[in-house]
């Protein structure tokens, strides 16, 4: 059963930071609660207070500023999936968000929560990686912007300390010459955790059939999602023909095995992540459904 | 902790421990047992209510979160003498077998028809993916929702 | 007919759509204490000692019960009484109940339960059924680890195989499957004004519950009352004692109302599962496809306690051949105890697993002989006049052939492409699966009783002990009563599944309620009718031979103007007319050596055809469509039957592709996946009504048949798509991918 605690819903960032400073490790931030409440029910945490950040207006906004899209940490997956702004300038993220959980979960669960929960299978993380997202971290004394990968330490472990709040995640608007793709595989057709997911963003050399820039990330294949830079190098400057893409695909499964080690699931996951990557590339290139 | 919110159109004020979920508040404090607990972790949809008009798993919503908000449950959907078209349609189409998943699905359907009065079968399926049903195989449920949409429009 | 064949609104639907139906956790009483079970963390151990001191100190805790507090027999069980309510000195599976806490709040009960300290002395645990029969392993129960061995012998399989032009031999395995009914077990119990221990809970059989509760408490049965609450699904999982004895034990001692609500995790850990089976199957056939012999060996893991293990063991042996004529049969079915979670009844009692095996065999034979898979089934299908593997001569209502023909018709009209040019990794396939299923409990008496009353105000009451668990028996039984009485259904008041007011109707299982309780109700109406005729004779001054009943109206052979509705008779004679009915299917016991006998009075038959799409890169299977043709005898409520079929098919998709319970790991709907809306295929039901002469208005049953042919059809379709067969369920991503890859290598 969920253990007793106090509950505060600050209306401003200042108030939230103050509460965090006051309670420190005795408190926990709650946004949608879709991960936290499950955790509390299991007895995995016994906070003395929950600090609900969903009533802070800045954390609930999606806005465009300085060439970037800024998404408040308490924006829900449903809002991200249906945001015209994100569909236009970061479609890979709205695609990914539309797969999280169920409609009910998407109405509650937030992007900030997804990041801080740091599940290796989180759908939004690979998308955020290829968007080169950063997170704005606040605490009573600090206000810093860090690359997303610096927020993730390991499976279910963010790098945030108890007095810190992830307030916002931002990414540069993806220009219209970028094509993106997002693919995920699960054991049933809906409301299922990703067995594996792949996100790509590609930009071709103008007027040519060669890749100028490739960004690749995959979910549920490593302790924390990262950019697959070695595979990206293989693609850079090349024509996306079968041979090149296959090389990149094999590089990706190689990275997976190096970072996660060989496990019982590797025999399945290695060839399948390659297949999913190829499909994701074709999706981005507009060749295939 | 004292919480004020609107429940099925009426203002209510309750005193509940802060660590209670909305589900528990509804069932144990307010005696509204129409909303069910099937799993407690947001994976089955039987606890679905509308919070400010959108479907959520009430087993994952901490009670204090609903302060000042609108909550709708199956008890507010219709009465015996004045059934909501969804309720009537569910009965007519054989969409109710054991009935445990029914209240949650009714609420998600209500929200769906509110934003999309004539959904296609695919749109209905997309809206109801957060609900498990072990009895019906879902077919008659989808038909019932489609039918209710038609009659609501009229 | 006014009711039969009419898809009227279900009588319980209104309450349910209003959210007003009261399920096990919805009923409560002021001041009810909360119960929480303390469970074993060991698979097999002696309980050396139990410390409850710390638990009792938790504020609000009233009592911690152990086996010593059980006044009567601490052994329950639907067939074999081998399962304690609370473990006394030995635990046999992880999750077994060892103590019960009663406290003022659920939090206090949970806290206290966590503080009960049990000292276990580990014993060697048996985890594989193969090990259970070794001489050097612990004996889990008094009579050893073999719960059941059943043999079916007919003809001469050796000769049969010699005559065969092809012999196919394979091994099939299935694993534990969870019922996953949406309502977690829960209940309320209290002492009523008459001092009766009353339990309100979801269940599939109030009368059985009453007996085992009374036995546990050492009380006469009339001191115990079980009332079925609205029940959120059962599928066989609520046939065992789950919360009933725990609730009753607490009330017995505390004399206060108590309630219990299982968490979903508890349901996963501590309720019955579908039996994992290992089936070794050898089939022989002639060149023209006629079956000559079947040799089948089945090993089932019945887990820590017997539950329905005997029934499952017998059913799989009897159904092993499938719905076909096989002249020579040799089947051995063994169910063994292990220290795994107990296996019990689950929709189909082993036949879903067995059908996977016999239908895969039929396709393998078809392939080897180059015969169309539907054709080979038609050639061997049972029909009126056939003799089954247990030597039963089937006389009527054997619709398997018709279901095959209907499916074939549909299939032959369909154009179908095996590949998709836009997605080169896709392979499509079609597969067929057929089944037969005996209605009612296997080879034993399993009667239903029922009563019908009409009081002097003309009020009509139907009493049945049959539990409606969502399958719609309330409605169907009312339809039967209404039709027979000639009274509108809305004017028949139903009293059901309350041991203080109803009598035993057996369990809602084995797809038996329409057939058996339906017949019991007709019998009750006949008796009521007899009484009504006698009264009418008095009232009208007419002779016995003169009057007769037609659609609930008393008429005279000599005076055509006479027309007295049965309710009018009750009004005029100013007393309650009552009819008591009973029906027991005519069966015989199976011969102990050969299994020969008449295990069921009626059989349901069905054929499903599945169309699947296999992603050969990922192993993902999409079931696009299932055509489901069912011989139901008579469709009393067609919409209900279609609902059962759609639900059964969807459950079959889960069984085929994604459901596997792993003891110690599976604990929620996150790691146990049942099909969502998007996994459910399009279902095309085709009902065949081959009237069962012994059935009420010709009806049989459909609850379990709805599920059984689905997984076989899907697995056959996968094999058709990828050219490689899967022999172990579920056909999950990994298994399908591996098979698809090796299929394509050839």
Which among B59, B129, B145 is the top mutation candidate for probing chain A, defined by the most A β-carbons within 10 Å of its own β-carbon? B129
Contact criterion met (CB below 8 Å) for C591 and C413: no
Instruction: Please tell me the predicted confidence (pLDDT) of residue B132.
Output: 98
3-state secondary structure of A76: strand
Dihedral pair phi/psi, residue B83, rounded to 5°? -75, 145
Do B97 and C230 lie within an 8 Å CB cutoff?
Answer: no
Q: Which of A187, A272, A288 sits opposite C617 (nearest CB)?
A: A272
pLDDT-derived band at C103 (thresholds 50, 70, 90) equals very high
Do B42 and A9 lie within an 8 Å CB cutoff?
Answer: no
Q: Which of residues 59-98 of A touch B (CB under 8 A)?
A: 78
Contacts of A60 in chain B (CB under 8 A): none
* All chains having 3 or more CB pairs closer than 8 angstroms to chain B: A, C
Pairwise CA distance, residues C115 & C541, whole Å: 77
Contacts of C618 in chain A (CB under 8 A): 185, 272, 275-276
Tokens, residue C108: 């206090």
Dihedral pair phi/psi, residue C207, rounded to 5°? -75, -35
Pairwise CA distance, residues B48 & B41, whole Å: 12
Dihedral pair phi/psi, residue C450, rounded to 5°? -160, 160
Mean pLDDT, range C488-500, rounded to an integer: 97
Which among A77, A103, A186 is the top mutation candidate for probing chain B, defined by the most B β-carbons within 10 Å of its own β-carbon? A103
* The pairing of beta strand C224-228 with beta strand C197-201: parallel
Which among A104, A188, A193 is the top mutation candidate for probing chain B, defined by the most B β-carbons within 10 Å of its own β-carbon? A104
Do B99 and C21 lie within an 8 Å CB cutoff?
Answer: yes
Residue with the two structure tokens 């059934």: B83
Phi-psi region at B46: left, alpha or beta (left = phi > 0; alpha = psi -120 to 50): alpha
Q: Which of B44, B92, B96 sits opposite C16 (nearest CB)?
A: B96
Residue C231 sits at the chain B interface (C-beta within 8 Å): yes
The distance of C614 to chain A (nearest Cα, Å) reads 13
Contact criterion met (CB below 8 Å) for C387 and C393: yes
Tokens, residue C548: 């007769």
In this prediction, what percent of chain B has a pLDDT beyond 90?
A: 97
Count of pairs with CB atoms under 8 A, one residue in A, one in B: 85
Residue C265 sits at the chain A interface (C-beta within 8 Å): no
Q: Which of residues 11-50 of B touch A (CB under 8 A)?
A: 17-21, 40-43, 45, 48
Instruction: Please tell me the predicted confidence (pLDDT) of residue A141.
Output: 87
Tokens, residue A212: 């100028």
Q: Which of residues 45-74 of B touch C (CB under 8 A)?
A: 46, 73-74
Contacts of B27 in chain C (CB under 8 A): 26
Strand order in the sheet with C492-496: C492-496, C460-464, C448-454, C577-583
Contacts of A192 in chain C (CB under 8 A): 673
**Has residue B154 got a pLDDT over 70?**
no
Residue C18 sits at the chain B interface (C-beta within 8 Å): yes
The half-sphere exposure of C637 on its side-chain side, counting CA atoms within 13 A, is 29
Pairwise CA distance, residues C158 & C152, whole Å: 15
Do A1 and C107 lie within an 8 Å CB cutoff?
Answer: yes
Q: DSSP readout, C715-744?
A: HHHHHHHHS----BSS--HHHHHHHHHHHH
Q: How many CB atoms lie within 10 A of CB A19?
A: 20
Contacts of A34 in chain B (CB under 8 A): 42, 57, 60
Do A37 and B59 lie within an 8 Å CB cutoff?
Answer: yes
Helix, strand and coil content of chain B, in percent to the nearest 5, comes to 40, 20, 45
In this prediction, what percent of chain C has a pLDDT beyond 70?
A: 100
* The pairing of beta strand C460-464 with beta strand C492-496: parallel
Contact criterion met (CB below 8 Å) for B36 and B131: no
Do A103 and B19 lie within an 8 Å CB cutoff?
Answer: no
Residue C670 sits at the chain A interface (C-beta within 8 Å): yes
Q: Which of residues 109-128 of B touch C (CB under 8 A)?
A: 125, 128
Do A41 and B40 lie within an 8 Å CB cutoff?
Answer: yes
Instruction: Please tell me the predicted confidence (pLDDT) of residue C543.
Output: 84
User: Under 8 Å CB-to-CB from C522, ≥6 apart: which residues?
Assistant: C480, C484, C581, C583, C696
Contact criterion met (CB below 8 Å) for A51 and A19: yes
Per residue in C117-129, pLDDT (tens digit) is 999 999 999 999 9
Instruction: Please tell me the predicted confidence (pLDDT) of residue A288.
Output: 41
Contact criterion met (CB below 8 Å) for C274 and C184: no
Q: Which residue of B has its CA nearest to A36?
A: B60
User: Under 8 Å CB-to-CB from A65, ≥6 apart: which residues?
Assistant: none
Do C618 and A276 lie within an 8 Å CB cutoff?
Answer: yes
Contact criterion met (CB below 8 Å) for A77 and A97: yes
Contacts of B96 in chain C (CB under 8 A): 10, 12-13, 16-17
Contacts of C623 in chain A (CB under 8 A): none
Q: What is the ipTM of this complex?
A: 0.98
Residue A276 sits at the chain C interface (C-beta within 8 Å): yes
Listed residue (C167, C157, C162) closest to C326, CA to CA: C157
User: Under 8 Å CB-to-CB from C135, ≥6 apart: which residues?
Assistant: none
Do B94 and C643 lie within an 8 Å CB cutoff?
Answer: yes
Q: Which DSSP symbol is given to A227?
A: B
Q: Which residues of C58-81 are buried (b: 16+ CB within 10 A; e: fewer)?
A: beebbbbbbbebbebebbbbbbbe
Q: How far is CA C326 from CA B78, C294, C295, C385, C387, in A?
A: 57, 7, 10, 14, 9
Residue B24 sits at the chain C interface (C-beta within 8 Å): no
**Has residue B152 got a pLDDT over 90?**
no
Residues A169, A171, A176, A178, CA torsion sign: negative
Contacts of B137 in chain C (CB under 8 A): 643, 645-651, 680, 683
Pairwise CA distance, residues C656 & C710, whole Å: 8
Instruction: Please tell me the predicted confidence (pLDDT) of residue A175.
Output: 92
Instruction: Please tell me the predicted confidence (pLDDT) of residue A282.
Output: 94
Instruction: Please tell me the predicted confidence (pLDDT) of residue C745.
Output: 63
Any alpha helices (H) in C556-604, and if so which ranges?
Answer: 566-573
- pLDDT by residue, tens only, chain A of 289 residues: 899 999 999 999 999 999 999 999 999 999 999 999 999 999 999 999 999 999 999 999 999 999 999 999 999 999 999 999 999 999 999 999 999 999 999 999 999 999 999 999 999 999 999 999 999 999 988 999 999 999 999 999 999 999 999 999 999 999 999 999 999 999 999 999 999 999 999 999 998 999 999 999 999 999 999 999 999 999 999 999 999 999 999 999 999 999 999 999 999 999 999 999 999 999 999 854 3
* The pairing of beta strand C277-285 with beta strand C166-173: antiparallel
Residue A215 sits at the chain C interface (C-beta within 8 Å): no
Instruction: Please tell me the predicted confidence (pLDDT) of residue C542.
Output: 86
Do B137 and C232 lie within an 8 Å CB cutoff?
Answer: no
Contact criterion met (CB below 8 Å) for A273 and A246: no
Pairwise CA distance, residues B25 & B16, whole Å: 7
Count of pairs with CB atoms under 8 A, one residue in A, one in C: 50
pLDDT-derived band at C159 (thresholds 50, 70, 90) equals very high
Instruction: Please tell me the predicted confidence (pLDDT) of residue A197.
Output: 97
Per residue in C550-607, pLDDT (tens digit) is 888 999 999 989 999 999 999 999 999 999 999 999 999 999 999 999 999 999 999 9
pLDDT-derived band at C640 (thresholds 50, 70, 90) equals very high
Do C25 and B75 lie within an 8 Å CB cutoff?
Answer: no
Do C733 and A268 lie within an 8 Å CB cutoff?
Answer: yes
Q: How many CB atoms lie within 10 A of CB C692?
A: 26
Per residue in C641-676, pLDDT (tens digit) is 999 999 999 999 999 999 999 999 999 999 999 999
Dihedral in degrees, nearest 10, Cα atoms B125, B127, B131, B134: -20
Contact criterion met (CB below 8 Å) for C463 and C469: no
Contacts of B40 in chain C (CB under 8 A): 263-264
Contact criterion met (CB below 8 Å) for C69 and C130: no
**Number of residues that this document lists for chain A:** 289
Bond prior to C22 in cis (omega within 30° of 0): no
Do B129 and C678 lie within an 8 Å CB cutoff?
Answer: yes
Instruction: Please tell me the predicted confidence (pLDDT) of residue A289.
Output: 34
Q: Which DSSP symbol is given to A159?
A: S
The separation between CA C665 and the C-alpha centre of its own chain, rounded to angstroms, equals: 25
* The pairing of beta strand C328-337 with beta strand C419-420: unpaired
Which among C107, C266, C734 is the top mutation candidate for probing chain A, defined by the most A β-carbons within 10 Å of its own β-carbon? C734
Give strand pairing partners of B4. Answer: B13
Q: Which of residues 262-281 of C touch B (CB under 8 A)?
A: 263-264
Do A9 and B54 lie within an 8 Å CB cutoff?
Answer: no
């Amino acid at each position: 059963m969920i253990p007793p605690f106090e509950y505060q819903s600050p209306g401003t960032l200042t108030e939230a930071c103050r509460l965090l400073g006051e309670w420190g490790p005795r408190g926990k931030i709650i946004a949608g609660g879709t991960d936290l409440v499950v955790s509390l029910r299991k007895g995995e945490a016994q906070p003395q207070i929950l600090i609900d950040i969903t009533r802070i207006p800045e954390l609930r906004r999606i806005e465009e500023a300085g060439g970037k899209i800024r998404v408040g940490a308490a924006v829900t997956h449903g809002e991200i999936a249906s945001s015209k702004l994100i569909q236009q300038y970061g479609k890979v993220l709205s695609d990914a968000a539309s797969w999280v959980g169920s409609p009910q979960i998407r109405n509650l669960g937030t992007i900030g929560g997804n990041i801080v929960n740091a599940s290796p299978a989180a759908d939004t993380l690979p998308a955020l990686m290829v968007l080169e997202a950063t997170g704005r971290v606040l605490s009573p004394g600090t206000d810093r912007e860090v690359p997303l990968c610096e927020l993730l330490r390991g499976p279910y472990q963010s790098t945030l300390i108890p007095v810190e709040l992830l307030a916002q995640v931002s990414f540069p608007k993806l220009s219209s010459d970028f094509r993106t793709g997002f693919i995920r595989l699960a054991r049933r057709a809906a409301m299922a955790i990703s067995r594996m997911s792949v996100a790509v963003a590609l930009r071709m050399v103008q007027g040519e059939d060669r890749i100028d820039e490739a960004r690749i990330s995959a979910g549920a294949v490593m302790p924390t999602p990262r950019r697959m830079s070695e595979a990206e190098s293989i693609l850079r400057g090349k024509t996306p023909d079968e041979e090149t893409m296959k090389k990149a695909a094999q590089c990706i499964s190689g990275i997976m095995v190096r970072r996660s080690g060989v496990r019982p699931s590797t025999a399945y996951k290695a060839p399948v992540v390659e297949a999913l990557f190829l499909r994701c590339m074709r999706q981005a290139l507009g060749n295939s459904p | 902790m004292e919480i004020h919110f609107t429940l099925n159109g009426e203002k209510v004020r309750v005193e509940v421990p802060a660590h209670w979920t909305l589900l528990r508040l509804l069932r144990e404090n307010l005696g509204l047992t129409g909303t069910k607990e099937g799993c407690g972790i947001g994976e089955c949809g039987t606890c679905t209510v509308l919070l400010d008009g959108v479907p959520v798993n009430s087993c994952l919503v901490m009670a204090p979160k609903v302060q000042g908000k609108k909550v709708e449950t199956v008890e507010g959907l219709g009465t015996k003498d004045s059934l909501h078209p969804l309720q009537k349609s569910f009965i007519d189409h054989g969409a109710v077998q054991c009935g445990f998943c029914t209240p949650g699905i009714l609420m998600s359907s209500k929200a769906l028809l509110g934003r999309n009065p004539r959904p296609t079968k695919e749109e209905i399926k997309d809206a109801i993916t957060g609900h498990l049903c072990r009895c019906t195989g879902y077919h008659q449920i989808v038909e019932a929702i489609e039918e209710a949409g038609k009659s609501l429009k009229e | 007919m006014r009711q039969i064949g009419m898809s009227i609104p279900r009588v319980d639907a209104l309450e349910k759509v209003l959210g007003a139906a009261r399920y096990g956790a919805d009923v409560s009483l002021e001041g009810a204490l909360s119960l929480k079970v303390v469970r074993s963390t060991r698979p097999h151990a002696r309980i050396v000692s139990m410390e409850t001191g710390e638990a009792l100190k938790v504020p609000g805790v009233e009592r911690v019960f152990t086996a010593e507090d059980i006044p009567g027999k601490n052994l329950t069980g639907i067939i074999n009484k081998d399962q304690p309510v609370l473990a006394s000195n030995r635990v046999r599976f992880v999750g077994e109940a060892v103590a019960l806490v009663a406290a003022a709040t659920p939090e206090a009960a949970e806290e206290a339960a966590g503080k009960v300290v049990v000292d276990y002395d580990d014993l060697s645990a048996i985890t594989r059924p193969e090990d259970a029969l070794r001489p050097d392993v612990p004996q889990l129960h008094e009579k050893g680890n073999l719960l059941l061995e059943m043999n079916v012998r007919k003809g001469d399989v050796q000769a049969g195989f010699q005559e065969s032009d092809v012999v196919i031999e394979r091994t099939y395995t299935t694993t534990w499957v969870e019922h996953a009914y949406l309502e977690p077990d829960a209940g309320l119990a209290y002492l009523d004004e008459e001092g009766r221990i009353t339990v309100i809970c979801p269940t599939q059989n109030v009368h059985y519950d009453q007996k085992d509760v009374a036995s546990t408490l050492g009380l006469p049965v009339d001191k115990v009352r079980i009332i079925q609450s609205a029940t959120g699904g059962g599928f066989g999982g609520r046939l065992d004692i789950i919360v009933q004895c725990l609730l009753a034990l607490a009330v017995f001692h505390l004399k206060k109302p108590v309630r219990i609500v299982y968490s979903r995790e508890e349901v996963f850990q501590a309720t019955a599962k579908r039996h994992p089976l290992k089936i070794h199957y050898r089939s022989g056939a002639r060149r023209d496809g006629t079956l000559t012999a079947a040799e089948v060996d089945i090993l089932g893991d019945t887990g820590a306690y017997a539950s329905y293990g005997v029934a499952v063991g017998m059913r799989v042996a009897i159904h092993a051949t499938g719905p076909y004529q096989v002249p020579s049969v040799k089947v051995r079915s063994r169910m063994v105890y292990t220290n795994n979670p107990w296996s019990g009844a689950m929709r189909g009692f082993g036949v879903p697993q067995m059908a996977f095996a016999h239908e895969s065999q039929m396709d393998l034979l078809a392939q080897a002989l180059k015969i169309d898979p539907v054709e080979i089934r038609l050639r061997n299908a049972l029909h009126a006049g056939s003799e089954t593997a247990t030597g039963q001569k089937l006389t009527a209502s054997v619709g398997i052939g018709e279901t095959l023909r209907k499916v074939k018709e549909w299939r032959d009209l369909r154009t179908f492409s095996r590949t998709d040019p836009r997605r080169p990794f896709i392979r499509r396939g079609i597969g067929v699966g057929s089944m037969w299923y005996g209605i009612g409990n296997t080879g034993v008496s399993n009667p239903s009783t029922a009563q019908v009353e009409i009081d002097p105000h003309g009020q009509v009451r139907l009493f049945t002990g049959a539990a409606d668990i969502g399958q719609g028996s309330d409605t169907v039984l009312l339809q039967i009563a209404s039709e027979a009485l000639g009274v509108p259904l809305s004017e028949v008041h139903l009293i059901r599944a309350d041991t203080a007011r109803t009598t035993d109707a057996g369990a809602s299982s084995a797809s038996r309620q329409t057939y058996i309780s339906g017949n019991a109700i007709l019998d009750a109406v006949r008796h009521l009718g007899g009484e009504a005729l006698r009264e009418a004779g008095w009232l009208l001054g007419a002779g016995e031979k003169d009057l007769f009943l037609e659609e609930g109206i008393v008429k005279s052979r000599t005076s055509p103007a006479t027309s007295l509705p049965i309710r009018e008779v009750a009004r005029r004679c100013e007393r309650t007319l009552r009819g008591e009915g009973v029906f027991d299917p005519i069966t015989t016991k199976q011969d102990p050596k050969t299994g020969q006998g008449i295990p069921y009075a009626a059989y349901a038959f069905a054929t499903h055809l599945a169309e699947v799409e296999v992603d050969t890169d990922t192993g993902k299977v999409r079931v696009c469509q299932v055509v489901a043709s069912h011989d139901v005898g008579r469709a009393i409520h067609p919409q209900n039957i279609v609902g059962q079929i759609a639900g059964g098919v969807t459950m079959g998709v889960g069984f085929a592709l994604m459901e596997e319970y792993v003891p110690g790991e599976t604990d929620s709907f996150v790691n146990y996946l049942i099909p969502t809306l998007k996994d459910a295929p399009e279902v095309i039901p085709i009902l065949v009504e081959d009237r069962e002469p012994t059935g009420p208005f010709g009806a049989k049953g459909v609850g379990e048949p709805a599920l059984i042919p689905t997984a076989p059809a899907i697995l056959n379709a996968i094999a058709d798509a990828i050219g490689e067969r899967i022999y172990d369920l579920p056909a999950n991503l990994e298994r399908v991918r591996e098979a698809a890859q090796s299929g394509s290598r050839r």
